[in-house]
């Protein structure tokens, strides 16, 4: 009895984000808040965004969930802070493609820009866990939409 592909899912860097989440907490001052659930499993994220002149100035999150959903939230906030909203959405689209197992051309991006999210690539091999990984990104997309209203 041995774990076969488990390491493709649980990379060291994912565990690091799970154990030491970046940008976990509450934003002060004016900001947008989005709360999203994954109703089938009980994961919950509370994402706060500060957007000014089309730029994500700050982002923080709180919530409960598994290692995949929380590490993805941590990585996501890291990636989008300081980015233009349109660039954040572009990366979100790329992440979604990556989760669907589609070929993603990372040459289109500055690798530094993508931060740690490439470590989540293995999730696409575990269909039951894709929704865990995309929860925070969906929250971000909804937050941006809220800002446009």
Distance CA 39, CA 25 (A): 23
Among residues 107, 128, 148, 149, which is the contact residue for another protein, using CB under 8 A?
Answer: 128
Binding status of residue 24 toward another protein by CB under 8 A = no
Binding status of residue 44 toward another protein by CB under 8 A = yes
Distance CA 68, CA 9 (A): 9
Nearer to another protein, 25 or 42 (CB): 42
The window from 28-36, 62-70, 81-89, 106-114 that contacts another protein (CB under 8 A) reads 62-70
Among residues 12, 107, 110, 148, which is the contact residue for another protein, using CB under 8 A?
Answer: 12
Distance CA 140, CA 148 (A): 13
Distance CA 46, CA 26 (A): 9
Distance CA 26, CA 23 (A): 9
Instruction: Determine contact, residues 77/60, Cβ cutoff 8 Å.
Output: yes
Nearer to another protein, 109 or 126 (CB): 126
Binding status of residue 132 toward another protein by CB under 8 A = yes
Q: Which residues in this chain contact another protein in the complex, by CB under 8 A?
A: 1-6, 9-10, 12, 15, 19, 40-44, 64-68, 126, 128-129, 132
């Amino acid at each position: 009895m041995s774990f076969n592909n488990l390491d493709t899912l649980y990379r060291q860097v994912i565990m690091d984000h799970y154990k030491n989440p970046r940008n976990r907490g509450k934003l002060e001052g004016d900001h947008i808040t989005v709360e999203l659930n994954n109703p089938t499993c009980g994961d919950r994220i509370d994402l706060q965004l500060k957007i000014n002149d089309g730029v994500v100035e700050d982002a923080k999150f709180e919530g409960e969930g598994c290692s995949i959903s929380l590490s993805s939230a941590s990585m996501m906030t890291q990636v989008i802070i300081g980015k233009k909203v349109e660039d954040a959405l572009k990366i979100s689209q790329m992440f979604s493609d990556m989760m669907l197992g589609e070929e993603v051309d990372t040459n289109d991006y500055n690798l530094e820009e993508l931060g740690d999210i490439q470590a989540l690539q293995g999730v696409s091999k575990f269909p039951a866990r894709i929704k865990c990984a995309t929860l925070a990104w969906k929250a971000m997309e909804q937050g941006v939409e809220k800002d446009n209203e």
